[in-house]
Each structure stands twice: as C-alpha cells, then as structure tokens.
Amino acid sequence: MSQSAATSPVAASTAERSAPGTLTLTGAVSFVTRLVLGGLFVWAAWNKLQPPNGPQNFADSVRAFKLGLPDWAVRASTSVTPWIEVIAGAMLILGIWVRSSALVIGVLLAVFIALIGSVIARELNVECGCFGKLSPFCPKKVGMCNIIQNGVMLAGAVYLTITPKTGLFSKS
Amino acid sequence: MIQNSAQIARKGLLARYIVQIAVIVGLGTVIGSADAIIRPVKLARTVEEFSLPTEGARPEVTSGTVASDRTRAGADEPKPEAMTDADSAGSSASKSSAEGPVAAAGQSGGGTGGFQFTPKDRLKPGHITIEEARRAFDSGQASFVDARSKSRYEEGHIPGAIRLELADFVAGQPAKLALLPREFMVIVYCGGGDCDESERVAERLEGSGYQRIFIIHDGFPGWKAAGHEVETGPEEFE
C-alpha cells in the first residue's frame, strides 16, 4: 500500500495498489511491446512499399512461395498486406485500438508462419521478403529463423490482445 | 438482470472490436487497392513468337582484363550439329563433337546422359528450345543472360553470357545492363526444370526496356547436354 498522503481515506480503502503516477509493470511491458511490435511492422511495410521497386520485389517474393495463387490474388496480397501492416502498426505505436490492432497483426503473423513452414516443408529456396529487401534478423533465405522471429512477434501480439488496457502510469 | 447486463456489455465490446478490426482491414484494403492502381506490379511479361534475327558475326563482349583462369571448353572444336529437340526427347544427343573437350557431363557415354529435351509444342510462351537458342547464338545478334548464382555460373555457362540475378534489380537497374545491346534479342536461362529465376529476370529486363526476350526452357543443363560450347570461370565484368 502506498505511503503517499495524497489519497483520501475512501480512495485508500477501495483502490489502487500503487500511488498515482507510479510506473506500472504491466503498463511498461505493454508500452514497450506496442512500440517494438508496431515499429517493426511499420518498418517492414515501408520496405515493401518503398519506391521504386518495393511492391514489385514483394510481388516477386509472394510468387516465389509458389502458392498457386491466381494473378489477382497475388496483386491483392501484394498491395493490401503492407498497408494493413502500416495501419495496424501505427495504431499500436499510438496506442489506438490496441487489442484490435494486435489481433490483426497476430493473424498476419500466424499466416506468415504457416506460409514459411510450407516453404520449408517443400524445400524451396526462396527469400522471405518479410522486411522487403532487408533481412535484419535472419538470413535472406527462408528458414527456421524466420519462424522463430515471427513466433516471438506473435507472442507479443497475443500478449497485447489478451492483456487488459493498462496505462503506463497508475491513475488516481 | 445483472447477468443480462454483463452479457450485453460483452456483446457490445465484441461488436466494438469487430468494427475496429473491420476498419483497420478495410482501410488497408482501400488504400492498398488505390496503390495497386497507381503502381501496378508486373506479373507477366509480353511474349512474342521466336524468330531468328538476320545472320551476322557474333559480337565480342568488350570488358576489362580476361580472367586468367577462364577456360573455354570446345571453342576450337567444330560446332556440333544443332539438335532437333522435337525428336530427341529421351534419346541421346549423338553429337559428332563427343570426342572433343566439350563439358564432360553432357557427353558421358557419347550421349546426353538421358537428358529429356522439351519438345517445341510443349513450351510455354516466350520459351525456346536448345536448338533455337543455338541458332540465336550462331546468328551473332542475341545476348545471353545467366540468371543463376555466381558459383553455378563459374562452373559453366554459355560463352559470353552475362550473369544477372533477380537480386541485382532490387535496388534499381543494374550497371551491367549497359553490356546488353537493346537492339539484340536477349536470351535468359537458368537451371531448367522448375527453375523460374530466368522468368523473373526476364520480367525485370522487360521493365528495363528490353523487348525481344526469350527463355531457354531446358536451361543450361539442356545446353550442356546438347554438347554446345561451355565456358567456365568467373565473369569478366563483375
């Protein structure tokens, strides 16, 4: 129980474990997770959208996965996916609609993991294209590292989805 | 009553999340669709019927110093008879140059090692047979592009071929394009079979302004199996 003299007796009997303005652990973890996950997704999406060849490079990556998609589906996934990533990532960073944004990102990550698993199972030698032309954390060729990378991000998205909205600082 | 209120509150919350998700996905879809119209991606290249350019001397590709360990297998041997791919599927190549120092793997036992050449009527649009590639090579008005990795290239490639991978186009037009005359047809190849790197490079070449682009369907393995000249060693113009 806080030592602060600022709380009234009524507030003290019914309320909070920490004094107003104290950094909460849950709030801090959520804050950092939001920034990191949202930042990674905005950065990944930017690399896929960046002129002059971002969209074409991403389309080539999608086709290299040999999913048997018709042309319209390749175009749709190539153009729409990065923009959903940008919007959801930006919302996470700004703390807007956190659970919904995290859920959208979580679904995207689950799909990416399934696709990468499919590529590995079929022993295809392809580049991930996860961050456009960059591969900051894993080798360019798709492998288990990409699954682990996406798995870690998925854990963050799940955490943000199921954790109740908590501010960075406790409120009075 | 309290339970109903809680259920109503939960349903309200669920509806709110559904609307939020729909807005995020919907907004991404709308903006993405507009982006696709403004910046369409190219998924297929324009293909035309293969026809030989007029006969002429094969251009020498000018470059700096020649790599000292470059070897040119079969260069001094009489050129072998062109294969008729349509009737050679499953049969040996029976090249008269089998006794020459052509790449050994393609000439084992005096044949192609059972290489299955793809007949003309089974080719995809924009793809050519080994025989057509050979005729283009002899005409002297075709540039060859090897879309394979550096190590594969160095193990053996079509003489004079320039190596260009998809990765070379990621940051924009590669400098090596200056070595490809735009008035010549461009013939791209990779490993044949399921290899589609040549298709990707061909698309990028078309995006760079090249027009008559063809792909050797059976790739370098087919060229080698047919007993044609093969160069080994690193690229002169890396």
Per residue in B35-65, pLDDT (tens digit) is: 999 988 877 777 778 887 555 445 444 443 3
**Do B170 and A133 make contact, defined as CB atoms within 8 angstroms?**
yes
Q: Which residues from A are below 8 Å from B13, CB to CB?
A: none
CB nearest A84 (choices: B24, B36, B171): B24
Q: In this model, does residue B190 exceed pLDDT 50?
A: yes
**For chain B, percent of residues with pLDDT exceeding 90:** 35
pLDDT over threshold 70, residue A78: yes
Chain B residues in contact with A104 (beta carbon < 8 A): 21, 24-25
Quote the pTM value. Answer: 0.66
Contact between chains at B24 and A60 (C-beta distance less than 8 A): no
Residue B27: band (very low, low, confident or very high) from pLDDT cuts 50, 70, 90: very high
In a domain, A57, yes or no: yes
Instruction: Say if residue A52 is preceded by a cis peptide, omega within 30 of 0.
Output: yes
Strands B142-146 and B185-189: parallel
Q: Is B15 helix (H, G, I), strand (E, B) or coil?
A: helix
The pLDDT of residue A80 is above 60: yes
A133 falls within a domain = yes
What DSSP assignment string belongs to B165-195? -GGGGTTSS-GGGGGS-TTSEEEEE-SSTT-
Give the span between the Cα atoms of B236 and B12, in whole angstroms.
Answer: 69
Give residue A17's pLDDT: 52
> Are the Cβ atoms of B200 and A60 closer than 8 angstroms?
yes
One-letter amino acid for residue B52 of the chain: L
How many domains in chain A?
Answer: 1
Distance from CA of A137 to the nearest CA of B (A): 19
CB contact under 8 A, A75 and B28: no
- Tell me if chain A has a CB within 8 Å of the CB of B42: yes
Q: Minimum mean pLDDT among A129-138, B111-120, B129-138: which range? A: A129-138
The answer to whether residue A1 is domain-embedded is no
The distance from CA B126 to its chain's CA centroid, rounded to whole angstroms, is 11
Cα Dmax for chain B: 97
Task: Decide which of B141 and A172 is more confident.
Answer: B141
Let me know if residue A100 belongs to a domain.
Answer: yes
In a domain, A141, yes or no: yes
Shortest Cα distance, chain A CAs vs residue B219, angstroms? 18
B-interface mutation test, from A86, A100, A111, A141, most B Cβ less than 10 A away? A100
CA triple B162-B167-B172, angle to 5 deg: 90
CA B177 to chain centre: 15
Confidence of residue B207 (pLDDT cuts 50, 70, 90): confident
Nearest CA in chain B to A50: B171
Give the confidence band of A137 by pLDDT, cuts at 50, 70, 90.
confident
Confidence of residue B199 (pLDDT cuts 50, 70, 90): confident
3-state secondary structure of A90: helix
Percent of chain A with pLDDT over 70: 80
Would you call B64 an interface residue with chain A, using a CB distance cutoff of 8 Å? no
Determine, yes or no, domain membership for A12.
Answer: no
Distance from C-alpha of A152 to C-alpha of A144, rounded to nearest angstrom? 12
Question: Which of A21-25, A130-134, B190-194, B233-237 is the least confident region?
Answer: A130-134
Classify residue A5: in a domain, yes or no. no
**Domain assignment of residue A107, given as a range:** 21-162
Residue scoring higher pLDDT (A71 or B21): B21
Question: What's the confidence (pLDDT) of residue A68?
Answer: 84
Can you point out the beta strands (E) in B81-129? Answer: 127-128
Nearest to A83 among B28, B39, B170 (CB): B28
* Closest CA relative to residue B227, chosen from B128, B100, B88: B100
Q: Is residue A148 part of a domain?
A: yes
Instruction: Flag whether residue B182 sits within 8 Å of chain A, measured between CB atoms.
Output: no
Average pLDDT over residues A161-172: 70
For residue B103, CA distances in Å to A64, A87, B99, B148 come to 31, 55, 11, 18
Does A8 have pLDDT greater than 50?
no
Determine the Cα angle at B45 with ends B42 and B48, to 5°.
Answer: 160
More confident residue, B228 or B104: B228
Kindly tell me if the per-residue pLDDT of B151 is higher than 50. Answer: yes
More confident residue, A154 or B77: A154
State how far residue B172 is from chain A, nearest Cα, in angstroms: 7
